[in-house]
């Protein structure tokens, strides 16, 4: 009753609802950077943005390391455009790309995304509200869409887009230009929640999937970057911004840490794009958002493209499936 009376006496500014992942740690890569950073549990302290990845626990040979120098040894690390540890849980989709939400073990599904600085939304969307706070600096806000048909969660989230973390929640100054280019919750959970409690959420701890930016691929078009899938040969394939790559963590029983394998082509651009688009220049498009689910052999991804008519926005692809993405 006292809260009700206070509300009647002093009008309160409405706040944007935050979703289920607001307190979760996650890893991110800022646009124009090639450093994997770690946002800890809860909100970051004011003006203390996520720093380069490091584990708060003592590492063993089984614990993967996500620092840039370990992920990509050498003097020319790639600029990451999208990433996933393969711990995304994605139900299989039908022929038009609709995930089977609300069936079997897939009770609900949410998709967390960021947009580039300058991204705009329509009134009264969450993105529009973030634009009202930060102007063109909307690229450090994390939003989630909770799919229609989801069950077992608060009904207010179903078929809604909500805020998970704003620029200020991540410790970025309101006037800064930081812009998130890639993100992954799996790295955050494995890094900050050591122990058996992760078993229901984490089922792969030794893989890292990623894409590279169009700019980096184009400027390194003669570099032997990746090896053919299923081989241990030296890398011979040049980078392509439309290809998804994979690293595998190899444990070292005689040392305190293992090492990542050389990049391996996981899904080539020729499988992710069709109608001849892949035959055009590496500058034409790239994979700029990625969620990988080995459990159902399903990938959700998006692309940015320069060629009119090329595929873009969200697509879903079955690894090894006979059908093109939808």
Tens-level pLDDT at each residue, the chain (326 residues): 333 333 333 333 345 579 999 999 999 999 988 899 999 999 999 889 999 999 998 888 788 999 999 999 988 999 999 999 999 999 888 888 888 887 666 689 999 999 999 988 899 889 999 999 999 999 999 999 999 999 988 889 999 999 999 999 999 999 999 999 999 999 999 999 876 677 677 888 899 999 999 899 999 999 999 999 988 899 999 999 989 999 999 987 666 678 999 999 999 888 887 655 555 555 677 899 999 999 889 999 998 876 666 667 788 998 887 677 88
If DSSP codes are grouped into helix, strand and coil, which group holds residue 9?
Answer: helix
**Distance from C-alpha of 97 to C-alpha of 72, rounded to nearest angstrom:** 34
Residue 274 CA from chain centroid, whole number: 23
Q: What pLDDT is stored for residue 276 in this prediction?
A: 54
Whether the ω angle into residue 124 lies within 30 degrees of 0, i.e. cis, is yes
Where would I find the beta strands (DSSP E) of the chain?
A: 26-30, 36-39, 51-52, 80-84, 110-113, 142-146, 160-165, 180-184, 207-212, 244-250, 259-260, 264-267, 285-293, 298-305, 313-318
Pairing of strands 180-184, 26-30: antiparallel
If DSSP codes are grouped into helix, strand and coil, which group holds residue 173?
Answer: coil
Q: Per the structure block, which two tokens stand in for 53?
A: 């990845």
Q: What pLDDT is stored for residue 275 in this prediction?
A: 55
DSSP-assigned beta bridge partners for residue 29: 36, 182
**Distance from C-alpha of 252 to C-alpha of 179, rounded to nearest angstrom:** 36
Torsion of CA 147, 149, 155, 160, to 10 degrees: 30
Q: What pLDDT is stored for residue 307 in this prediction?
A: 63
How crowded is the C-beta side of 6, counted as CA atoms within 13 Å?
4
**Distance from C-alpha of 227 to C-alpha of 262, rounded to nearest angstrom:** 7
């Amino acid at each position: 009753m006292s809260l009700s009376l206070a509300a009647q006496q002093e009008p309160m500014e409405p706040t944007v609802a935050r979703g289920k992942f607001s307190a979760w740690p996650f890893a991110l890569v800022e646009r124009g950077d090639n450093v994997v950073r770690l946002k800890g549990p809860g909100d970051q302290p004011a003006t203390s943005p996520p720093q380069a990845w490091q584990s708060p626990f003592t590492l063993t040979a089984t614990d993967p390391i996500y620092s840039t120098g370990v992920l990509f040894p050498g003097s020319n690390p790639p600029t990451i455009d999208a990433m996933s540890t393969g711990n995304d849980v994605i139900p299989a989709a039908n022929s038009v790309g609709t995930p089977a939400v609300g069936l079997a073990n897939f009770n609900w599904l949410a998709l967390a995304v960021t947009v580039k600085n300058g991204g705009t939304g329509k009134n009264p969307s969450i993105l529009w509200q973030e634009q009202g706070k930060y102007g063109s600096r909307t690229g450090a806000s994390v939003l989630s869409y909770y799919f229609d048909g989801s069950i077992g969660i608060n009904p207010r989230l179903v078929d809604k887009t909500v805020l998970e973390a704003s620029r200020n929640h991540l410790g970025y100054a309101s006037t800064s230009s930081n812009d998130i280019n890639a993100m992954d919750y799996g790295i955050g959970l494995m890094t900050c929640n050591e122990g058996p409690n992760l078993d229901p959420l984490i089922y792969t701890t030794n893989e890292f999937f990623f894409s590279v930016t169009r700019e980096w691929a184009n400027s390194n078009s003669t570099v032997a970057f990746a090896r053919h899938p299923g081989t241990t040969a030296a890398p011979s394939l040049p980078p392509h911004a439309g290809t998804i790559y994979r690293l595998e963590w190899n444990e070292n029983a005689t040392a305190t840490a293992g090492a990542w394998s050389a990049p391996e082509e996981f899904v080539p651009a020729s499988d992710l794009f069709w109608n001849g688009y892949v035959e055009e220049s590496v500058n034409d498009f790239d994979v700029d958002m990625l969620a990988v689910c080995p459990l159902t052999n399903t990938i959700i991804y998006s692309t940015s493209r320069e060629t009119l008519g090329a595929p873009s926005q969200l697509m879903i692809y079955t690894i090894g499936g006979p059908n093109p993405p939808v």
